[in-house]
Structure 1
Amino acid sequence: MDERKYSMAEEIKVFRSWSSPFALRIIWALKLKGVEFDTVYEDLTNKSPLLLQYNPIHKKVPVLVHNGKVICESLVILEYIDETWKQNPLLPEDPHQKANARFWARFGDDKVMQSIGGGVLLKEGKEQEEGFAASMENLKYLEEEIRGKKFFGGETIGLADIALGWLAYYLDIFEEIVGLKLIDQEKFPSLAAWKQEFANAPIIRENWPDRDKLVTKFAAMREANLGKGTPK
């Protein structure tokens, strides 16, 4: 399925799946920049030859194609977008602030997503308990970083917000599936406030995937990972 929205002057295509939080980052960034683009939806159980051609190493979404140039990996794509289209910058000018934003974006992928997605959603018993403990520790760092700020990027949505943005929607779904609460107002008041602020920003809110479909998908993924079913 294609959504033809790109300017005649430029070819901009985003290869994504409907449910990928990594691909959603690219949609948010382009829309925050006001850049028009084509969306190509991939079935990750039957990847297209074009996707495999564009991303032969990782064979996954997202992939950005800009006037024939191919860029892979969501955090790399976000920086490419920010450097190519200067309006509504995602990264600050100050080198230290820029490095800090990159650090928290990477922390989100390497620590937060791994502990919550890999350690809580896809595990049970002792392994899940360990994943939960690691997740709470990682969330404490985010709580300290966001305290006193509207967004990780300050007053506007920036790179770190986009990288961590899945927490504002997907986390509630994961919590529902496993019956555990990670972020609440009492333990993480600043992070809870950020979740609400980010989730309800117009461009963000308008592009969330269908919640019920996500619950079904990730519940099936959990069951399959635990050897109790097959992924959908």
Structure 2
Amino acid sequence: MAEEVKLLKSWSSPFGLRIVWALKLKGIQYDSIDEDLSNKSPLLVQCNPVYKKIPVLIHNGKSISESLVIFEYIEDTWNHNPLLPQDPYHKATARFWVKFGDDKVLPSIWSAFIKQGKEQEDAIDEAIENLKLLEEQLKGKKFFGGEKIGLADLALGWLANLVPVFEEIIGMKIIDEERFPSLLAWMHEFSQVAIIKESWPPHDKLIIKFQALRDRHLAK
């Protein structure tokens, strides 16, 4: 009997996109359902009654929510093309940087994007300190785990996708060649992988969407 795999996501969400990448790297066939988050479907509310957010993976009728939890589920369910190293220490290290990305890097860059003046300057300083730690991790490596894309790359892939959008909107460079040569090289390398490249949301549409989001935040 064929497996049923569905992914509830939105076209612009980096959290949904990282699951798209994971499924594609694993070679898992799935149905993609784009949600309108201003008018959530009954299916989304039913499958994720706690947070009512995307992404949600539905596997043979069972739903799994939260992208980092979905990552673990995918890795445990489909063992081929592993996203995590086998060595326990390297596995723990990858998980650490995944969590650091979501807990520290993303909030600091988002804060720099939606603020202005002194608040924005402080947020950029914090973002740069966080990015320096990623830069150190990437020195001498193609990807976070070495020569092959892994979980940390997928979790941090939004940097390659969204930072150029944010930089264009605020008219300021956050990740530059001088401070972050390894991080920039990784962003380019990651973006050129066929499975990643074919899933990129259109840059122009992202500019329009995130400009509107920024305007809304600043208006508050």
SS in 2 for 1:89: coil
2:161 to 156, 162, 169: 169
Q: Which whole-Å CA distance do the structure 1 matches of 2:92 and 2:22 have between them?
A: 19
* Corresponding residue number in structure 2 for 1:68: 61
Query: What is the aligned length?
Result: 220
Q: In the TM superposition, what is the alpha-carbon distance from 1:104 to its structure 2 partner?
A: 0.3
CA offsets per residue over residues 101-155 of structure 1, 9 Å max, x none?
A: 00100100111100001x1111111111111000000000000001111100211
1:157 to 140, 145, 149: 149
1:197 aligns with 2:189: yes
Query: Which aligned segments of 4 or more residues in structure 1 are displaced greater than 6 angstroms?
Result: none
The 5 A counterparts of 1:1-232 are: 9-117=2-110, 119-227=111-219
Q: In the TM superposition, what is the alpha-carbon distance from 1:9 to its structure 2 partner?
A: 0.5
SS in 2 for 1:18: coil
Q: In the TM superposition, what is the alpha-carbon distance from 1:83 to its structure 2 partner?
A: 1.2
* Counterpart amino acid of residue 82 in structure 2: P
Q: In the TM superposition, what is the alpha-carbon distance from 1:184 to its structure 2 partner?
A: 1.4
Q: In the TM superposition, what is the alpha-carbon distance from 1:66 to its structure 2 partner?
A: 0.3
* Counterpart amino acid of residue 133 in structure 1: D
Q: Which whole-Å CA distance do the structure 1 matches of 2:129 and 2:172 have between them?
A: 15
More helix by share: 2
* Counterpart amino acid of residue 104 in structure 1: W
Q: In the TM superposition, what is the alpha-carbon distance from 1:79 to its structure 2 partner?
A: 1.1
Q: In the TM superposition, what is the alpha-carbon distance from 1:58 to its structure 2 partner?
A: 1.0
Q: Which whole-Å CA distance do the structure 2 matches of 1:68 and 1:96 have between them?
A: 34
Q: Which whole-Å CA distance do the structure 2 matches of 1:182 and 1:76 have between them?
A: 29
Q: In the TM superposition, what is the alpha-carbon distance from 1:87 to its structure 2 partner?
A: 1.4
Q: Which whole-Å CA distance do the structure 1 matches of 2:145 and 2:209 have between them?
A: 31
* Counterpart amino acid of residue 110 in structure 1: D
Q: In the TM superposition, what is the alpha-carbon distance from 1:186 to its structure 2 partner?
A: 1.2
Q: Which whole-Å CA distance do the structure 1 matches of 2:71 and 2:139 have between them?
A: 25
Unaligned runs of 5+ in 1: 1-7
Q: Which whole-Å CA distance do the structure 2 matches of 1:98 and 1:151 have between them?
A: 14
Identical residues among aligned pairs (%): 63
Q: Which whole-Å CA distance do the structure 2 matches of 1:128 and 1:185 have between them?
A: 21
* Counterpart amino acid of residue 22 in structure 1: F
Q: In the TM superposition, what is the alpha-carbon distance from 1:91 to its structure 2 partner?
A: 0.4
* Counterpart amino acid of residue 168 in structure 2: E
Q: Which whole-Å CA distance do the structure 1 matches of 2:101 and 2:172 have between them?
A: 20
Q: Which whole-Å CA distance do the structure 1 matches of 2:197 and 2:81 have between them?
A: 18
Q: Which whole-Å CA distance do the structure 2 matches of 1:96 and 1:139 have between them?
A: 23
CA offsets per residue over residues 23-58 of structure 1, 9 Å max, x none?
A: 001100000010000001100000001101111111
